[in-house]
Structure 1
Amino acid sequence: MNRKQPDAAEAPASTGQAKSRTGDAPANAVADDILVVGQRERPIEIAPRGLAVSLGQEQFAGTNAVNVSDLIKYAPNFFIRRRYIGDSNAGPGFRGTSGQQAARTLVMIDGFVVSNFLSNGIGNSPKFDLVGPQEVRQFDIVYGPYSSRYVGNSMGGIVNITTNDVERTEGFLSVQGFAQPFDQYGTDATYAGGAADGGFGLRQKDGPWSVRVSGHYLRSEGQPPNFLFLLPATGAAAGTAVTGAVIDPDTLTRVATANGVPTTTTRPSGTVLANDPAPIFASQGRALVTQLQGKLRLGYDDGTIKAEGLFAYWHNLEQLNEVDCYLRDAQNNRVCEGRVTTLGRNWTAAGANLSRNVREEYLAGIKVAAPVGPFAVKLVASTFQTAKMQTETSNGYVAGINRGAGTFTDNGPTGWYTGDLTLEYKADRNLFAFGATASLYKTDQTRYNTSDWLAHTAPVFVTRNFGKTRQLSLWGEDRLELTDALSITAGLRYDDWRAFSGGLGRVGTAGAIIYNSYATRTNNAVSPTLSAELALDPRTKVQLSLAMATRFPTVGELFQGALNSDGTFNINSFDPNLPPERSNDANLLLARDFGKLRLTGSVFYQRVKNSLFSFQGLNQFGVITTSFKSIDVTRQYGVELLAEARNFLIDGLSVDANGAWLDSRIVRNSALPASNGVFFQRIPRWRFNGNLRYDITPRVQGVLGVRYASRPNTDILGLQRGHTYGYISELFALDAKVNFRLNEHMRISAGVDNITNSRDFVIHPYPERSFLLEAGWTL
């Protein structure tokens, strides 16, 4: 898992190339390289082959951002699944890769890997919140695996977050307040919160040392992430007579025949209710999030050797400890649990659990760049560790409020180690680079039953699962400038992968804990890349990029099995021989600079063998299970158009707009043949994003933003499509912001997201209309 420099590294003085600080253009960089879309002040920090987008302060000023992932919400054909402010499961999606395929996105902060390749799902989103939004200098995004410098987890794309350098004595402070009125079903409330970013940096006068200390604090109330449905009860005995249940007619899904005639009605869960949707009896209440992040960055730069050390700590507490029960009995008492009678039928109210999740995690890393003979050498090494991750959940509502029984899940030791060595040699028209990367990912999770869910009193062992994967890689890449107008880059990557020390434990029939171990697995892959770039004229460039990539299974995808009562593995519950994902990719770019307007067109294609995805279907033994399985073949292709305008039509007007059309389908799925030919789950056909910024005066800026994605399929069969809770709906958000610069050091801003109060869903509800106030100070 690696981060590499652009095509030119910081060069040793002996080559005659100019010294380059982090963020300064490499010696062979073209300052007006129109194949990198976005900000023009700084060069992109990752190899820009395929569609490459770099966002800087100009774009950030046009965004209402509390979490750092908010800064890229207008990026082209890109998506962040953020349910509410402070959502730690903010999964990114590229083109036809959804947030449920987190293992296909390589994310780095200052070159240190923060991708969570412990599994492949929403719960394994990258660790974006290790950096606050006020620290970010730029976001670089590359779509697809078109450079051999990066592991196959870049199959979807790469994101690198670069924080500000310490160039002088400095300080900054930002405070934010936000609020969201929310009205859905029987819940009507306003949720609010605040955040603060601050820090200082010191640079040694006439010396090589620098230091930065920074921190971020957030406390947020989010809208309810879940609503609870009544379940049909068996038997004729009546329950407590109640009122207040809410029927949402949009929870009905129309499953059409070939001629378009609706034949079946069903809830998102798939329960058939004879043309009557299940009533909703409660919301899970507010999502209360508290986050605390601190970071120390130590730098050294004497003009020849540059080094940096980083330590970042992150604390996250997420509580769902309130339930908004809609049901009332004859005495107007709340009813949150048990057998009830309403709407002429008997039901069971269940699932109103209370929960708390606490995490303490840290990132530590070091990187060194220096000339060694004719080579520019760079070494990056880091580790991310979960010092504490505990989840406590009650067994129902009554147990929750009375500190009764529940479950307790403890993680640890869990985390990863990564290393990356790069050597680059620059000749007159040739840049040759080669290197090695290494990674180790490990997880260990134990689940207990407890008599007091919140204090996890008297824990009783239930299950434990654990395992490791490691990957060693060698790569080489050569960029050759054949003429002033034509360059070719060819690369090759070799990966050696191993999964080991995996196992599962549970209580046996005699009460003893029994462990079974997974067999060690090994695999390898050779992945080539090829890219050609041609300048048709000084303002027009074309680039064709081809690649093959291999993404090996994660710990969680492999070590997911269950045990039988005798302690042996249930062979139907897992597939220890999941194959790696292998993709063939192509991307054609055409870019034209018209002066005040730059247009970039992109056509892409990807075909993946053995896509790993969790769904209900036949396992390797022909038994129906819900687990990670291999989809034989998927493919996606599409077209993207990006426009960047500065001082366009009128002075002071800047526009960044993009649109994408794509077709992403399951070609063949032997585990679930009914899904053959179906548009892939959670992927929209259309995406549009735009951000318009107008300098009303030299000190006042007005901003409008828009985000749109068409309605995708909610399930892998393409049968569930809806625009309500429980579905992946169409997304439309119109945003606005006003920035005021009071003086050189002070600024304030006010913004609103989702002005039209569109009610959209990603299974869970998205935020409704939200307001943000911010004040910032810099030294």
Structure 2
Amino acid sequence: MSLLPVFNSARVTPLSITLPFIMQPLNQYTLTSTLLLFGLALPAMATNTEISTESNADITVAANNSDEHETEVMHVWGKSLKANEPGYTSPESLLLPSDMQAINAVTTEDLVKYEPSLVIRRRFIGDANGTIGIRSANMFQTARSMVFADGVPLHYNLQTRWSGAPRWTMVSASEIAQVSVLYGPFSAQYGGNAMGGVINIETAIPQEREFNADISTFIQQAQAYDFNEDVSGYKGFVSFGDKVDNLSYYLSFNHLDNDAQPQSYRSAKASGTTEANTATGGSLGPDARNRTVYWYGDTGIVNSQTDNYKVKLGYDGNNWQALLNVAYEDRSSENTGDSHIRDINGDKIWSASNEVIDGSLFSFNSARLNESHLLRETLSIGLRVKAELNDNVALEANINQFDILKDETRSSALNPNDPAFLGNGKIKDYDNSGWTTSDLVMTVSDIAIPRLNLITGIRHENYELNLNVFNTEDYLRGIKQNYSSSFGGKTALNAVFAQLNWSDNQQWDMTLGLRYEQFESSDGYYSIINSDTSALELVNAPSVEYNKTSPKLTLGYYPNDNWLIRYSVAKAYRFPIVEELFRQYQAYNSINESNPNLAPEDGFHQNLMINRELPSGYVRVNLFYDQIKDAIESQSTTIVGGINDGTSLSTFVPLDKTETKGAEFILNQTDLLTDGLDLRFNMTYTHARIVKNAPNPEWQGNIYPRMPKWRANILSTYALTEDWNISFNAQYASDVHSRLQNDDNVDNVYGAADSYLLFGIKSQYIINDNLKASIGIDNITNELAYIAHPWPRRTAYFNISYQL
């Protein structure tokens, strides 16, 4: 038995503060030392939580072999099937409170970044663009992954690529009780947006009076190009909840304030010259496509602040339950670009015309070093209701309304420090945008014959996006003047599904599913510039309508009590989202054209799972194959000749066919080798290719962008005493391309997509029944890696938590 105390994850937030000594350079540590640390910490993780994963489960969390700490009980609605249960259609990974304690987690996405075949592009703590990729969906194919919290959608099916990140901050990491990841669209209950997978987050519902408070600080040793500063931030969380008779209530407030490293570094074309120096600073070097450029500045430190207010009300009736979830987010961020170039007097240069530094001639202005302010307010309301009609029939209903109350980005035309700046700029405004979703699901057990179960239901989704860009003479005050561009539209999806689950209670089980979907786009529009009057005009875009049917099949075979072989196959259709259909604009050096006639992505998915149960864990291999026809991608070309000569022209155009073959190895083991040691290890091999593409046939055979051939993750914890534990984590990804052309071959420069190997540690100490503290470090070796933008360098954390 392990001696490691485990606490309600809704009350544990592993955050952190930097101590000066742990931020010192680690150059004295050799690779051998690092690998030794890796080897010592590998067999170190202890899972001590006894947890029921049935619906409406009460989770008991206690310190084993110890009466010193009180047992705590949580109430969690969500259900997670075991691999040997009928109805288990999709490979699943379950993350429990004991696993979360090994992670330096500040925001919700931190908790899932070590899961198999999954990547989170979290560029900094509090990143609004923390996109997600699962299996054959890369981190910019955000519409192929779904995220739910207590049944409320967090995935953002209005936009895609860097703008399509889930709204992670609508849920605090401090309130999460369990997370499950489903891989692939093998369940009829999910549509084609589950091509990559589905993340289901469940938070705790209070069963008694509780008060929780977390205070965390963190600091990063940021370095890249001419930027070299420590940046820091903090998080504060407080919650109060209770249960009075049948009514539970929960109130929470989460505040995050962080300064992050510059996200973009600016470069200009450079040529050789023998002229004398006229300036200093910056650096000459290649970009990701091996073009010689001069790096002259960055977009500045990003300061972001997020406030999240949440109310949860739960009610337990005799044979029904309800959960109301209301979340309001107030988010802001700002950054101001900085020039690295100085004249011979030492003053910064904001606009350079034929400057010379060490034989390099280049020019630039401060348009790409401008200032930007984001102001965003969001309201989400979700309601779940579950009723047991009798011993065999149950109903569950979910409804969600998500409204963007305000979303403005105010950007200056030039850097405010530029003498040529006049105060003008642009304002990007999302107006009347949001969604409504609802579903009703019925489950019938032992229908007609024993061990034959039916799950069936209906779902409705309605999305609306409207984006207007205004010119302004005063960007700081946000005064909107004439339109610069505008686009928007609506999409609606109606679905009905049915799935039969059968088991012979011995060696076989089978699942048959069918999903029928109706999709429609409407009220689409985009702006164009009238060539005669130079005025902006709105054009109505055509609507499209599709009806698709997706069959599913899963077959499981049990050679004996310890082994399981399961094969799953499914069709899935991922319908285009509003931005993909109607986005159209013209910017500084790029043009985007809408494509309102986009067809849905057509997916064929297979998975073969071989599972071996261990006395306290399991080892699993998944072999998967995904083939996507009409894969929606933003494809670009360069205009030659005319007024827009040299301008990049982009539009969402389907790739004819893509193919992904992959293999996962997963080992989850508690009490490994000795009591108190636990390990979560996974490794994924992926072979992703563009098989066919008529618009650009030269891309056929290319590696699919942002899909590393190898990924691996480790989470490990060891209980030093019953009050003190130490954890180790590691992430690895191999080198990738970020462009369909596969012409970005230079590593360790801004814009590249590098390989990385990141190590982290964390230690938690239970001070008493109410108080605990933790410290940790991510990216111990201070590795510099770019996934287009620079990933965080060495970051140290400190957290102290109080619970009553």
Give the TM-score taking structure 1 as reference length: 0.88
Distance in 1 separating the partners of 2:591 and 2:795: 49
Residue aligning to 1:230: 268
Distance in 2 separating the partners of 1:775 and 1:703: 17
1:171 alignment partner, SS class = strand
Match of 2:219 among 166, 170, 179: 179
1:530/1:246 CA distance change after superposition, 3 Å: same
Match of 1:298 among 308, 313, 326: 313
Residue aligning to 1:778: 803
Residue aligning to 2:323: 308
1:324/1:399 CA distance change after superposition, 3 Å: closer
Residue aligning to 1:216: 254
Match of 2:342 among 325, 328, 334: 328
Distance in 1 separating the partners of 2:685 and 2:145: 21
Which shifted more, 600-609 or 338-347? 338-347
Deviation at 1:247, TM superposition (A): 2.4
Residues 603-628 of structure 1, C-alpha deviation per residue, up to 9 Å, x if partnerless? 00111110001122599xxx994211
Aligned AA (2:132): P
2:559 alignment partner, SS class = strand
Distance in 1 separating the partners of 2:98 and 2:591: 55
Residue aligning to 2:281: 244
* 2:553 is the alignment partner of 1:553: no
Residue aligning to 1:633: 657
Distance in 2 separating the partners of 1:7 and 1:397: 54
Deviation at 1:120, TM superposition (A): 2.2
Which shifted more, 97-106 or 390-399? 390-399
Residue aligning to 1:653: 677
Aligned AA (2:501): R
Deviation at 1:506, TM superposition (A): 5.0
Residue aligning to 1:40: none
Aligned AA (1:244): G
Contact 1:337–1:398 (8 Å) recurs in 2: no
1:678 alignment partner, SS class = coil
Residue aligning to 1:441: 463
Percent pairwise identity: 25
Match of 2:615 among 595, 609, 627: 595
Residues 168-227 of structure 1, C-alpha deviation per residue, up to 9 Å, x if partnerless? 1111111100001112221111000100111011101xx211110011100001011011
Matched ranges for 1:140-155 at <5 A: 140-155=180-195
Aligned AA (2:135): R
1:513/1:729 CA distance change after superposition, 3 Å: closer
Residue aligning to 2:24: none
Deviation at 1:652, TM superposition (A): 1.0
Deviation at 1:484, TM superposition (A): 2.8
Residue aligning to 2:26: none
Residue aligning to 2:404: 386
Residues 507-555 of structure 1, C-alpha deviation per residue, up to 9 Å, x if partnerless? 6454765321011211110001111122221122121111000001110
Contact 2:277–2:359 (8 Å) recurs in 1: no
Distance in 1 separating the partners of 2:88 and 2:168: 22
Residue aligning to 2:153: 113
Deviation at 1:458, TM superposition (A): 5.6
* 2:521 is the alignment partner of 1:499: yes
* 2:686 is the alignment partner of 1:686: no
Distance in 2 separating the partners of 1:723 and 1:47: 45
2:193 alignment partner, SS class = helix
Aligned AA (1:517): N
Aligned AA (2:398): V
2:293 alignment partner, SS class = coil
* 2:559 is the alignment partner of 1:542: no
Distance in 2 separating the partners of 1:449 and 1:233: 35
Distance in 1 separating the partners of 2:663 and 2:515: 28
Aligned AA (1:179): I
Contact 1:606–1:636 (8 Å) recurs in 2: yes
Distance in 1 separating the partners of 2:53 and 2:674: 37
Residue aligning to 1:408: 427
Distance in 1 separating the partners of 2:616 and 2:315: 39
Residue aligning to 1:343: 358
Deviation at 1:252, TM superposition (A): 6.1
Contact 1:357–1:392 (8 Å) recurs in 2: yes
1:153 alignment partner, SS class = helix
Contact 2:424–2:472 (8 Å) recurs in 1: yes
Distance in 2 separating the partners of 1:563 and 1:656: 47
Deviation at 1:239, TM superposition (A): 11
Residue aligning to 1:73: 113
Deviation at 1:115, TM superposition (A): 1.1
* 2:789 is the alignment partner of 1:764: yes
Deviation at 1:573, TM superposition (A): 2.9
Match of 2:333 among 311, 315, 318: 318
Residues 350-394 of structure 1, C-alpha deviation per residue, up to 9 Å, x if partnerless? 321111111101111111111346631111000111100001111
Which shifted more, 515-524 or 572-581? 572-581
Residues 282-323 of structure 1, C-alpha deviation per residue, up to 9 Å, x if partnerless? 1222111111001001111123110111110111111112x3
Distance in 1 separating the partners of 2:735 and 2:696: 23
2:174 alignment partner, SS class = helix
**CA RMSD in angstroms, aligned pairs only:** 2.7
1:191 alignment partner, SS class = strand
Residue aligning to 1:284: 299
Residues 736-771 of structure 1, C-alpha deviation per residue, up to 9 Å, x if partnerless? 001101122211000000001111111110000000
1:336 alignment partner, SS class = coil
* 2:439 is the alignment partner of 1:425: no
Deviation at 1:561, TM superposition (A): 3.6
Contact 1:728–1:762 (8 Å) recurs in 2: yes
Contact 2:77–2:202 (8 Å) recurs in 1: no
Match of 2:76 among 23, 26, 37: 23
Contact 1:461–1:506 (8 Å) recurs in 2: no
Residue aligning to 1:361: 378
1:279 alignment partner, SS class = strand
* 2:563 is the alignment partner of 1:525: no
Matched ranges for 1:559-598 at <5 A: 559-561=582-584, 573-598=593-618
* 2:736 is the alignment partner of 1:720: no
Residue aligning to 1:514: 537
1:474 alignment partner, SS class = strand
Unpaired segments ≥5 residues, structure 2: 1-51, 58-72, 640-646
1:674 alignment partner, SS class = helix
* 2:139 is the alignment partner of 1:99: yes
1:756/1:35 CA distance change after superposition, 3 Å: farther
2:120 alignment partner, SS class = strand
* Higher-RCO chain (CA-CA 8 Å, sequence separation at least 6): 2
Residue aligning to 1:257: none
Deviation at 1:670, TM superposition (A): 0.8
Deviation at 1:425, TM superposition (A): 0.8
Aligned AA (1:330): I
Residue aligning to 2:395: 377
Contact 2:441–2:456 (8 Å) recurs in 1: yes
1:516/1:721 CA distance change after superposition, 3 Å: same
Contact 1:604–1:639 (8 Å) recurs in 2: yes
1:324/1:239 CA distance change after superposition, 3 Å: farther
Residue aligning to 1:451: 473
Distance in 2 separating the partners of 1:191 and 1:715: 31
Distance in 1 separating the partners of 2:77 and 2:506: 23
Residues 21-64 of structure 1, C-alpha deviation per residue, up to 9 Å, x if partnerless? 963797xx87xx3569xxxxxxxxx9742320010111110000
Contact 2:470–2:480 (8 Å) recurs in 1: no
1:378/1:24 CA distance change after superposition, 3 Å: closer
Distance in 1 separating the partners of 2:475 and 2:274: 32
Residue aligning to 1:753: 778
